[in-house]
Structure 1
Amino acid sequence: MRCLIVLQLLTSKLWQSGVVLPNHTRNTWFYLFVSSYIAVFYCVLLNTFSSSTHCRNKCSLRFFLTSEIHWRGKLYCIFILLSQGRYEEALVQFEKNKDTDFQAMYQLGVMHYDGLGTNKDPEKGVEYMKKILNSDSPEARHLRFAAAYNLGRAHYEGYGVKHSTEEAERLWLIAADHGNPKASIKAQSTLGMLYSMPDLKDLRKAFFWHSEACGNGSLESQGALGIMYLYGQGVRRNSKAALKCLKAAAERGNIYAQGHLVEYYYSRRFFSTAAARAKRTTENDNIEMLATVTDCLPAYVAKGVAIAAFYLARCLHLGRGIEKDEAAAKKYYSKVRCNA
């Protein structure tokens, strides 16, 4: 019995994060790794317990391991199909298994919502997410937070369901689970953004949720905290804490933090540092790619590039911290207009 509990705990921990609707493709390789890892792990255990004379429930355990190896192996193959863009074939396999496996149901919801391998059907995607969220099955537990986040996103955008900011807030609070690091960190960060918006503006709540998300590893919230400390939004102004957060977020790839760090140095007349940082930030202006890689909102990535481009243009135009070059300055001023 102890062996079964250990297996269930391991499986739960490995699979608890789930895939959120807008970022499903980025998580495909994570699932490939986990599926293959678990399948190999089960194979080792099957071999061990088959030769053991100390396992009282050898037959039932063997059946459990064999069935798990079969399903994990199949899941591995399905995610190989996804990684190759063979969505129609993957969809068929998820459809076959949706009634017996919540992971298949979840992924099916993602595919219907985003129109992968089928016509877009956000209503059906929402329906599958609701089934997972409302299920009492322990096998759905590791996906509930991700499902709640996705449903909140659907309500906020009014896609597949009626628009309702209040319902989105309620669902994101469920997904965030009081800052639980095993819950949806994306929901925690999103609540920080939500409480910064005019409709539900409460900067203390925004600071709280960005703090929770940052503590759980959110890159986007780490940058947001730096800006809140810098301007005293929802918290007492603290330049030292602001610089610490902005530097850490910038080093991890947060473009919005990089832009504000450029502004920070320029306003304090550290022109050489500002120009050097701005040049690095503006080297790659593929907003969608940067947003995908960093899991940050494209609008804030674009703002970060625009801020950096503006201050680099100023440095070039006035010869501050870098050799004066008015032609190059014009080029970077145009980048500001493109990304503003």
Structure 2
Amino acid sequence: MKQCLHFLHTALFARAEELLAKRIIDGDPLAYFLQGQLYFEEGWYDEALAQFEKIKEMDFQALYQLGVMYYDGLGTKEDPEKGVEYMKIIINSNSPKARHLKYAAAYNLGRSYFEGCGVKHSDKEAERLWIIAADHGNPKASVKAQSTLGMFYSTSNPKDLKKAFFWHSEACGNGSLESQGILGVMYLYGQGIRQNTKAALECLKEAAERGNIYAQGHLVEYYYKRKFYTKAAAFARRIAENDNIDMLAKITDCLPVYIAKGVAMATFYLARCLQLGVGIQQDQAAAKNYYSRVSVSLQVHSVLLLVLPIDWINKFVSICRR
């Protein structure tokens, strides 16, 4: 079956390449970009880079893709300065052809300032650019920037949880799976908004059904704390089997750190259920195995320590010391 699908994909790709080559010969200017994009989507980054380079002076879409490729080192050596340069050209252009790319370019440039990569680090400039990219919650703007602003305000010093809640609400309303899970947690604990368990569960359950691992981990904790042990253990077992964090991040378009946290929380409560024999048959050896998985996850994704509740970490550490 896989071989048949691969053959079909190869045939379709060859046909698409053939049609685009004909359109280029016929003088269709869009075909140049589409051919480069075809290569990019296939992961043929060298070919995509060469194609985009040919038309970067006349095609802002090609210039944008080149900015991404140079920044991330796709098909070329990493050159974040050049990536920043290309994004600035798009943002500062008055051409109508660049207008639809400005939100995405502003988001990426904000990311550069926040990371201090290709440009001097500046939280203030990153915030300014993300606000431009978010455009007051416009659904046609960068939803990624809206969600990022929510995270930025929830971790800034000092925090501004009301702003964080506002931007996660905007992003969630525009389809962000990441923000939907975070909103559920904010409602659950009254962060930036009055505590509302009903709204929290609605957000968390819908986000969980859509594949948000962070929301799933918090649902396991909710069920466990309310002594719905059977439900917590069964749900946690499914989540704990997720071991490819990077793949899940690509599939769900959620940050790896939040996915890792969701898996760690579910694994921890599954271990608790197995240790105490609640909601599942007691199994000390299995409990020890799952506790060790949490330990490894905390070491690999050490940034988790920045987002895990301190009481949760203390509880885990005390158990591991026994």
Off by >4 Å, runs of 4+ in structure 1? none
Q: 1:104 corresponds to which residue?
A: 62
Moved more, 308-317 or 279-288: 279-288
Matches within 5 A, 1:260-279: 260-279=218-237
Shift of 1:77: 2.4
Alpha-carbon contact 1:121-1:160 (below 8 Å) kept: yes
Alignment pair present for 1:134 and 2:92: yes
Counterpart for residue 206 of structure 1: 164
Deviation at 1:239, TM superposition (A): 0.4
Residue in 2 aligned with 1:158? 116
Indicate whether 1:299 and 2:257 are aligned.
Answer: yes
RMSD after superposition: 2.0
Is residue 2:175 matched to residue 1:217?
yes
One-letter amino acid matched to 1:178: H
Aligned partner of 2:154 among 183, 196, 201: 196
Q: Deviations over 1:149-176 (max 9, x none)?
A: 0000000000000000000000000000
Map 1:1-340 onto structure 2 (within 5 A).
67=27, 70-340=28-298
**Amino acid of the structure 2 residue aligned with 1:119:** K
DSSP 3-state at the match of 2:125: helix
| TM-score, length basis structure 2 | 0.83
What is the distance in 1 between the residues matched to 2:145 and 2:40? 25
User: For each residue in 1:202-261, what CA deviation from the matched residue of structure 2 results, as whole angstroms up to 9, or x when unmatched?
Assistant: 000000000000000000100010000000000000000000000011111111110000
- Once the two structures are TM-superposed, the CA of residue 109 in structure 1 deviates from its matched residue by 0.7
User: Structure 1 residue 200: deviation in Å?
Assistant: 4.4
The runs of 5 or more residues in structure 1 that have no matched partner are 1-31, 44-65
2:234 is aligned with what amino acid?
A: A
Cα deviation, 1:91-136, whole Å, max 9, x if unaligned, reads 1111110010000000111111111121111000000000001111
Q: Check the 8 A contact 1:112/1:119 in 2, yes or no.
A: yes
**Preserved CA contact (<8 Å) 1:176 1:184:** yes
Cα distance in 2 for partners of 1:199, 1:98 equals: 40
Partner SS for 2:194: coil
Aligned mates of 1:260, 1:200 — CA distance in 2: 25
Which residue does the alignment assign to 1:29?
Answer: none
Deviations 1:246-303 (A, max 9, x none): 0011111111110000000000000011011101111111111111111111111111
Task: Report if aligned partners of 2:151, 2:164 keep a CA contact under 8 Å in 1.
Answer: yes
Q: Which has the higher contact order (CA 8 A, sep 6+)?
A: 1
Q: For the Cα contact (< 8 Å) 2:36–2:48, is it kept in 1?
A: yes
Corresponding position of 1:47: none
Question: Distance in 2 between the 1:117 and 1:192 partners?
Answer: 32
> What CA deviation, in whole Å up to 9, does each residue of 1:305-339 have, x standing for no partner?
11000000011111111111111111111111122
- Identical residues among aligned pairs (%): 70
Q: State how far apart, in whole Å, the 1-side matches of 2:265 and 2:92 are.
A: 44
SS at match of 1:195: helix
Q: Any conservation in 2 of the 1:194–1:200 contact (CA below 8 Å)?
A: no
Query: 2 CA distance for matches of 1:244 and 1:331?
Result: 33
CA distance in 1 between partners of 2:80 and 2:192 (Å): 36
- Verify the 8 A CA contact 1:179 1:213 in the aligned structure 2: yes
- Check whether the contact 1:272–1:320 (CA below 8 A) recurs between aligned residues: yes
Partner SS state of residue 100, structure 1: coil
Please say if residues 35 and 51 of structure 2, whose CA atoms lie closer than 8 Å, have aligned partners that are also in contact.
no
Given that residues 32 and 55 in structure 2 are in contact (C-alpha distance below 8 angstroms), is that contact kept between their aligned partners in structure 1? no
How does the TM-score come out when normalised to structure 1?
Answer: 0.79
